[in-house]
């Protein structure tokens, strides 16, 4: 109640009206601001009279006008991406022309620290990574936004679940915050809390793989066009993300899309044409009569030998890996954007079309997106901004990964098919596969695994200046929006497939409709004032979030020939139906104090409640505090070598939400013999369940050398979690299985280092480089329940051990050391990761960029090898390294050869993530040839995932058959191979 009272007081305060500063005597200064080098006018530059709050901006032609009070004044020019410039004006010399230089050091950029305020990077107390549009999409084209973050964020462990088109990526920031949830960051796009769910497709059900986690689905960030993004701020842990409260345990990605700009309207057109080929194939094994006699049982040998001899006679041996995966796919992207406006209204419009094929036939990803971002000043003091985005994605991911019995997975299936047997159709007839339950060629040619998402994201913001004096300013900010999408999925295996023909009801189709509606609203007051020499920013506000998700899945089996409508099925079934909803509300307060950019401190607190918690009306508090000291801004600092030195410390708390349904003890609906039954659920609701909590303290040092040409950012953090959600397994004899508990606690600590600078700067060449290194160690400090193993496929094939004092990513398996205690075989967590990015500009018009990433350590559970060994198709299967007469494929190290350790493999790798070479056509040539129509033209070549070096046996050391998981996200089961993507680019600005 008290908090609400305070809030009302604040609102009443606004009705007092407002005062304006009286004009005083002085003169009018005017001027034009241009870009150094090109001489183009710069619109939207902020011009401030130093020492006052008086400010204006330049118009479309780069001109401004401002009235200083005295006889002389110093104007401070600020523009994002350019070096802040000061220029003296006087009544005698009131008109100036200034050139502003581009600033490659990021210190001046603005970073969001509260929910309603921002701060200069040079004053920031956290290691917030900002990924600019140039970093994100400047080098090459990547299908999804999260895929474009690889190697660009120290502290981020990003894993691609498979190479299937359309995404499927898991980001973990600063290790694990949860044992049971995905431990994936919250995503806020232009103030809208957007869904990044992995929605069910049904592939795992139809192919028999199991639960929806094995669908190999895409995460819904795939719907966002990466080219619309201006920047992504990565709040990596609770100390930076505390103001986001309950959903920020795993960090926050704050995505800002492009805005309009005052000035001449620019029309930009870009076209990419590219191709995708597999990054790596494993190769398949050849067969011989000796191998057939060794591999097959006696009764089976004659037919196998005949098949082999026929293949030898006709010379028909088929490398199935190459046959299915070795295709070249076409990649097409078209983008058009229009950007412009005046002082009152600014707009950004964009449209894009992506049509990218997959390296497996009949797979691919299409996305069409349109966006309109409009900012309009209703009055001098009221700004309204809206952003509207409609996207449609159409994804065909094919059939790869895990399956059971159905044979509807290429990789699983061909693990068992020798290269002397021809599965290809003859005259439209697909031969039955005698080595597995299905002909994978037929599945590839006829099966459907499709998802179509129609999505609308709307954001709005309203900023009102309620009060402005020379020494203070009060703003009222409201923003929010909605994220609505519908996902139509269809998984179809037609009636004439081999496995389907062997079923009582041949033909299987699963049709899903899921609908998601998220809305959020935030209102805040921000008061800037001065306390002697200290600038103060006070903010208070509230947040409300609503999430709704409904779904209906229908299945038909026993289909009419060639039909996939459920009404054409013998057996028609409502396979699943659900409705979920959730509401969170929060209140926040934050106070920042800035002493002349020398000492910057912040304290804040947020209170949250949510109706998924055991007590829906209990507020949980999330405090934060931070301090940064810019030593170089003090007068005593004399060094010219060290031009920035900022020790910083930050602390904060956040939480992870309780999943929907944790409080319910329900009766399930079942049907038997035409009757409806109610069964007691095996999960017991916990009415005392609380959100999982994390707190983090982060220490850092930011240093700049040689006029900030060389910059170092070093951070050490300790993140501890408590009340971690984990299922408490009850005695199974009581007829119930689990209840969610708040027992576990974890600790992550890690180091993040980033060194960036200009390596070389000469007349014809400029080389900037950034080297990053990070590592994280996670440990369970308290489990609270008896240790257990979970995840992957059990102890025989490698699983994970949850036990106090060790990392939850610890992989254990057979042999058992003592009953219930298994051998430790590895750890999924990488030892450390490093990335190196470079930008080289040479001969004026050439740009070369490349980005490499090295991940050291981290083990996978490689069950693709398990399958190919079982089928005799692993390359070198019949070799016999130890000459004991047993082929390698039957005898993998370590001895005694039949334990889980043989599948746990080191996944260290080096990848060239991105490389691009661009040529900007000289202006003179353009104006001579096209007159003034074309402002800028650029052509280029680029590649994504062009090079992989690893000892790991498998298509890619990054893979996860279980999708996004906190822990078991490193299990390799016959995935879709990763693609190497090469592009030609054309970019024209009109």
Q: Both ends of the chain: CA-CA distance in Å?
A: 57
| 60 in contact with another protein (CB under 8 A) | no
CA distance 321 to 282: 8
As to burial, measured by CB atoms within 10 angstroms (0-12 exposed, 13-18 middle, 19+ buried), residue 705 is middle
The phi and psi torsions of 984 (rounded to 5 degrees) equal -110, 135
DSSP 13: H
User: In the window 707-746, what residues touch another protein (CB under 8 A)?
Assistant: 728-737
Nearer of residues 212 and 681 to another protein, judged by Cβ? 681
| 611 in contact with another protein (CB under 8 A) | yes
User: In the window 818-857, what residues touch another protein (CB under 8 A)?
Assistant: 819-820
- ∠ Cα 595 652 723 (to 5°): 170
Q: Tell me which of 70, 302, 562, 616 binds another protein, using CB under 8 A.
A: 616
**Alpha carbon of 405 to those of 398, 435, 499: distances in Å?**
17, 12, 8
| 379 in contact with another protein (CB under 8 A) | yes
| 614 in contact with another protein (CB under 8 A) | no
- CA atoms within 13 Å, Cβ hemisphere of 851: 22
| 765 in contact with another protein (CB under 8 A) | no
- CA atoms within 13 Å, Cβ hemisphere of 523: 4
Q: Which residues pair with 836 in a beta bridge?
A: 771, 852
| 691 in contact with another protein (CB under 8 A) | no
Nearer of residues 80 and 681 to another protein, judged by Cβ? 681
Encoded one letter per residue, x for contact with another protein by CB under 8 A and - for no contact, window 199-218 reads ---------x----------
Contact 406, 493 (CB under 8 A): yes
| 245 in contact with another protein (CB under 8 A) | no
Q: Tell me which of 101, 289, 573, 596 binds another protein, using CB under 8 A.
A: 573
| 498 in contact with another protein (CB under 8 A) | yes
Least Å from the CB of residue 973 to another protein: 11
Nearer of residues 419 and 582 to another protein, judged by Cβ? 582
DSSP 161: S
Least Å from the CB of residue 551 to another protein: 11
Contact region with another protein (CB under 8 A), list: 11-19, 328-336, 744-752, 930-938: 11-19
| 667 in contact with another protein (CB under 8 A) | yes
Contact region with another protein (CB under 8 A), list: 37-45, 166-174, 213-221, 679-687: 679-687
Encoded one letter per residue, x for contact with another protein by CB under 8 A and - for no contact, window 536-555 reads ------x-x----------x
| 682 in contact with another protein (CB under 8 A) | yes
CA distance 200 to 204: 9
Q: How far is CA 49 from the centre of its chain?
A: 41
Contact 829, 969 (CB under 8 A): no
CA distance 530 to 882: 79
Greatest Cα pair distance in the chain: 107
Contact region with another protein (CB under 8 A), list: 244-252, 306-314, 705-713, 782-790: 782-790
As to burial, measured by CB atoms within 10 angstroms (0-12 exposed, 13-18 middle, 19+ buried), residue 3 is middle
Contact region with another protein (CB under 8 A), list: 635-643, 765-773, 780-788, 843-851: 780-788
| 378 in contact with another protein (CB under 8 A) | yes
| 381 in contact with another protein (CB under 8 A) | yes
Encoded one letter per residue, x for contact with another protein by CB under 8 A and - for no contact, window 406-445 reads -x----x---x---------------x---xx--------
| 893 in contact with another protein (CB under 8 A) | no
Nearer of residues 656 and 700 to another protein, judged by Cβ? 656
- ∠ Cα 200 497 556 (to 5°): 45
Q: Tell me which of 341, 401, 691, 871 binds another protein, using CB under 8 A.
A: 871
Q: Tell me which of 94, 661, 803, 806 binds another protein, using CB under 8 A.
A: 661
Nearer of residues 88 and 687 to another protein, judged by Cβ? 687
Least Å from the CB of residue 315 to another protein: 26
User: In the window 145-164, what residues touch another protein (CB under 8 A)?
Assistant: none
H or E element: which one contains 963? Answer: none
| 344 in contact with another protein (CB under 8 A) | no
CA distance 157 to 143: 19
| 507 in contact with another protein (CB under 8 A) | no
| 13 in contact with another protein (CB under 8 A) | no
Cα torsion 629, 633, 634, 638 to 10°: value is 120
Closest by alpha carbon to 278, among 401, 165, 420? 165
- Cβ within 8 Å of residue 263, ≥6 positions away: 41, 43, 44, 59, 60, 61, 62, 340, 341
Contact 912, 110 (CB under 8 A): no
Nearer of residues 253 and 605 to another protein, judged by Cβ? 605
| 585 in contact with another protein (CB under 8 A) | yes
Encoded one letter per residue, x for contact with another protein by CB under 8 A and - for no contact, window 287-326 reads --------xxx-xx--------------------------
| 687 in contact with another protein (CB under 8 A) | no
Contact 409, 403 (CB under 8 A): yes
As to burial, measured by CB atoms within 10 angstroms (0-12 exposed, 13-18 middle, 19+ buried), residue 655 is buried
């Amino acid at each position: 109640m008290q908090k609400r009272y305070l809030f009302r007081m604040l609102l009443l305060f606004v009705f007092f009206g407002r005062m304006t500063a009286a004009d005083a005597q002085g003169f009018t200064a005017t001027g034009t601001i241009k870009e150094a080098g090109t001489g183009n006018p710069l619109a939207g530059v902020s011009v401030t009279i130093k020492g006052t709050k008086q400010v204006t901006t330049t118009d479309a032609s780069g001109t401004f006008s401002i009235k200083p009070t005295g006889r002389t004044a110093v104007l401070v020019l600020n523009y994002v991406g350019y070096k802040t410039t000061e220029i003296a004006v006087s009544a005698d010399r009131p008109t100036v022309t200034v050139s502003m230089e581009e600033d490659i050091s990021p210190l001046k950029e603005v970073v969001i620290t509260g929910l309603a305020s921002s701060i200069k990077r040079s004053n920031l107390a956290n290691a917030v990574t900002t990924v600019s549009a140039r970093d994100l999409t400047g080098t090459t084209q990547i299908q999804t936004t999260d895929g474009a973050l690889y190697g660009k964020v120290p502290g981020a462990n990003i894993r691609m679940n498979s190479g299937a088109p359309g995404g499927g990526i898991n980001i973990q920031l600063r290790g694990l915050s949860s044992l049971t949830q995905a431990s994936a960051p919250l995503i806020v796009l232009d103030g809208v809390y957007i869904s990044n769910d992995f929605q069910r497709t049904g592939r795992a059900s139809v192919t028999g793989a199991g639960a929806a986690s094995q669908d190999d689905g895409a995460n819904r960030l795939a719907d966002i066009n990466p080219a619309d993004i201006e920047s992504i701020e990565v709040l990596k842990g609770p100390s930076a993300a505390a103001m986001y409260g309950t959903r920020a345990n795993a960090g926050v990605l704050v995505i800002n899309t492009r805005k309009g700009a005052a000035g001449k309207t620019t029309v930009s057109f870009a076209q990419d044409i590219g191709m995708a080929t597999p990054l790596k194939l494993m190769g398949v094994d050849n067969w011989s009569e000796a191998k057939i006699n060794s591999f097959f049982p006696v009764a089976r040998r004659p037919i196998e030998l005949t098949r082999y001899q026929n293949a030898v006679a006709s010379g028909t041996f088929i490398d199935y890996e190459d046959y299915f995966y070795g295709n070249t796919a076409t990649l097409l992207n078209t983008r058009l954007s229009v950007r412009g406006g005046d002082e009152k209204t600014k707009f950004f419009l964009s449209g894009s079309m992506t049509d990218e094929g997959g390296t497996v036939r009949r797979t691919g990803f299409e996305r069409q997106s349109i966006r309109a971002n409009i900012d309009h000043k209703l009055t001098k003091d009221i700004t309204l901004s809206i952003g509207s985005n409609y996207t449609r994605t159409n994804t065909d991911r094919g059939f790869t990964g895990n399956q059971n019995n159905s044979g509807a997975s290429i990789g699983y299936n061909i693990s068992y098919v020798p290269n002397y047997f021809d599965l290809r159709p003859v005259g439209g007839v697909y031969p039955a596969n005698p080595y597995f339950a299905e002909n994978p060629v037929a599945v590839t040619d006829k099966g459907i695994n499709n998802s179509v998402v129609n999505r609308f994201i709307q954001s709005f913001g309203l900023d009102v200046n309620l009060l402005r004096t020379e020494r203070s300013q009060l703003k009222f900010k409201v923003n929010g929006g909605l994220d609505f999408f519908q996902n139509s999925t269809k998984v179809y295996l037609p009636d004439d497939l081999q496995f389907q023909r062997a079923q009582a009801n041949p033909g299987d189709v699963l049709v899903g409709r899921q609908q998601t509606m998220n809305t959020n609203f935030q209102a805040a007051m921000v008061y800037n004032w001065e306390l002697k020499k200290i600038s103060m920013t006070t903010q208070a506000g509230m947040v409300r979030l609503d999430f709704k998700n409904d779904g209906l899945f229908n299945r038909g089996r026993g289909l009419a020939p060639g039909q996939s409508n459920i009404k054409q099925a013998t057996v028609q079934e409502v396979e699943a139906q659900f409705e979920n909803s959730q509401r969170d509300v929060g209140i926040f307060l934050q106070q920042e104090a800035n002493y002349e950019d020398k000492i910057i401190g912040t304290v804040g607190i947020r209170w949250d409640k949510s109706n998924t918690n055991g007590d829906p009306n209990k507020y949980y508090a999330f405090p934060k505090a931070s301090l940064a000291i810019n030593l170089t801004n003090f007068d005593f600092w004399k060094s010219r070598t060290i031009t920035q030195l900022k020790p910083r410390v930050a602390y904060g708390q956040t939480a992870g939400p309780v999943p929907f349904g944790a409080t319910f003890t329900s009766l399930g609906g079942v049907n038997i013999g035409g009757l409806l039954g109610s069964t007691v659920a095996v999960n017991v609701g916990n009415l005392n369940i609380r959100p999982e909590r994390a707190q983090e303290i982060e220490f850092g040092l930011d240093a700049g050398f040689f006029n900030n040409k060389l910059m170092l950012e070093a951070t050490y953090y300790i993140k501890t979690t408590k009340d971690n959600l984990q299922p408490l397994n009850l005695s199974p004899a009581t007829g119930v299985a689990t209840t969610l508990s708040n027992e576990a606690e974890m600790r992550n600590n890690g180091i993040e280092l980033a060194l960036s600078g200009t390596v070389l700067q000469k007349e014809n060449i400029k080389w900037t480089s950034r080297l990053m290194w990070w590592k994280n160690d996670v440990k369970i400090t308290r489990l609270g329940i008896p240790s257990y193993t979970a995840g992957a496929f059990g102890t025989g094939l490698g699983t994970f051990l949850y036990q106090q004092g060790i990392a939850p990513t610890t992989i254990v398996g057979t042999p058992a050391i003592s009953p219930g205690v298994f051998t430790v075989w590895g750890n999924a967590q990488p030892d450390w990761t490093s990335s190196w990015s470079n930008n080289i500009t040479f001969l004026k018009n050439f740009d070369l960029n490349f980005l490499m990433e090295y991940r050291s350590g981290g083990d996978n559970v490689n069950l693709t090898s398990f399958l190919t060994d079982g089928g005799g198709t692993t390359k070198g299967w019949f070799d016999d390294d130890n000459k004991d007469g047993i082929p390698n494929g039957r005898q993998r190290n370590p001895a005694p050869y039949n334990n889980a350790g043989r599948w746990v493999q080191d996944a260290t790798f080096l990848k060239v993530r991105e490389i691009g070479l661009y040529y900007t056509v000289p202006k003179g040539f353009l104006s001579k040839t096209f007159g003034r129509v074309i402002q800028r033209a650029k052509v280029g070549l680029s590649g994504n995932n062009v090079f992989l070096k690893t000892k790991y046996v498998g298509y890619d050391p990054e893979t996860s058959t279980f999708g996004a998981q906190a822990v078991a996200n490193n299990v390799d089961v016959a995935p879709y191979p990763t693609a190497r993507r090469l592009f030609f680019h054309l970019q024209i600005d009109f």
